[in-house]
Structure 1
Amino acid sequence: MVSSGYRAIPRAAGLVVEAWGDSREECLAEAVRAVVDSFAEIGDAVPDGSVEFALAVRDDDALLLTVLDEVIDQIQVEERVPVDVSIDEGTGIAMGEFEIRLATVPLEAVREVGALPEAVQPAGSWFRRESGVWRAHALIEV
């Protein structure tokens, strides 16, 4: 069993997010945390809203891109910051479908410590299982 985690590596005009975990869901949640922690200190912010959505995606790379696109959309368009994430696969839904729930706070409830994420670059981003561990790699534009 591997502990989950993430790191964000600054690069020109963005950052590289790397995440890992024992399960697909755990790794995705870590990738979301990495994106949020790259620009915000959550502190004691208590969620006062949430967004839920279901995804049916063709592959794991598309799953990562779609989840991170939704996170960035919440930040940029709705001015909401995800502070907690839960991801369930196939619980009462068809296999290959995922239910995602982002607990959110207003952007002004967090302390901004970096540039807001603007987009995920599909080229160079991937999500897969390697040697029993789920790993995500995403290029984020800021």
Structure 2
Amino acid sequence: MRPHNATRRGGHRSVPHTADLRVEAWAPTREECLAQAVRGVCASFLDLAGAAGVRRRDVVLQADTDEDLLAALLEEVVYWLDTADEIPVDMELDAVPGGLRAGLHMADTRSLPVTGAAPKAVTLHGLECGRGVDGWRCSVTLDV
């Protein structure tokens, strides 16, 4: 459950959604909120306990809106999952003009226990990301 005052700490949760994966995340900053969304997506289908990054992927994402930035970051996650069987288990996210610089510490998914269906694509329906009075919040739905 989301804490009443999101400025104190960040987190994420999966919420029921028919045949898809829906994740909500919250944190004091935009970058931490985006990182929480990525963690929520990855934890929805793999047991990340003890997972360690084996390589780093650096990427700069450009977007016009915070919602588009969230979608671009998660599309990057789905891309590496599909093409290299990797997911980020840790990350550094830094704001840059017009976007985000991401340092993704990737783990091999074949070394992690599967707990659910892997995401296939980010949907734009119900995509939200923004700052409120108690910090940043985002919501995203992914096809599984």
* Shift of residue 56, structure 1, vs aligned partner: 2.1
Moved over 3 A (4+): none
The TM-score, its normalising length taken from structure 1, stands at 0.92
- 1:82 and 2:88 equivalent? yes
Give me the whole-angstrom Cα distance separating, in 1, the residues matched to 2:111 and 2:50. Answer: 9
| 1:1-142 correspondence to structure 2 within 5 Å | 1-90=7-96, 95-142=97-144
Give me the whole-angstrom Cα distance separating, in 2, the residues matched to 1:68 and 1:124. Answer: 15
The structure that is strand-richer by fraction is: 1
- Specify the alignment match of 2:3 in structure 1: none
Aligned-CA RMSD value: 1.2
Partners of 2:90 and 2:105 within 8 A in 1: yes
Indicate the SS of the match to 1:25.
helix
State the identity as a percent: 33
Deviations 1:90-138 (A, max 9, x none): 3xxxx22310111111111111100011111112111111114110000
Amino acid at match of 1:27: C
Give me the whole-angstrom Cα distance separating, in 2, the residues matched to 1:44 and 1:56. Answer: 32
Give me the whole-angstrom Cα distance separating, in 1, the residues matched to 2:17 and 2:61. Answer: 30
Give me the whole-angstrom Cα distance separating, in 1, the residues matched to 2:125 and 2:15. Answer: 17
The TM-score, its normalising length taken from structure 2, stands at 0.90
Indicate the SS of the match to 2:77.
helix
Give me the whole-angstrom Cα distance separating, in 2, the residues matched to 1:21 and 1:28. Answer: 8
Give me the whole-angstrom Cα distance separating, in 1, the residues matched to 2:84 and 2:95. Answer: 26
Q: How many residues align?
A: 138
Deviations 1:18-77 (A, max 9, x none): 000000000000000000000001222221112110122111110000001111111122
Amino acid at match of 2:36: E
Amino acid at match of 2:34: L
Q: What 5-or-longer segments of structure 1 have no aligned partner?
A: none
* Shift of residue 79, structure 1, vs aligned partner: 0.7
- Specify the alignment match of 2:4 in structure 1: none
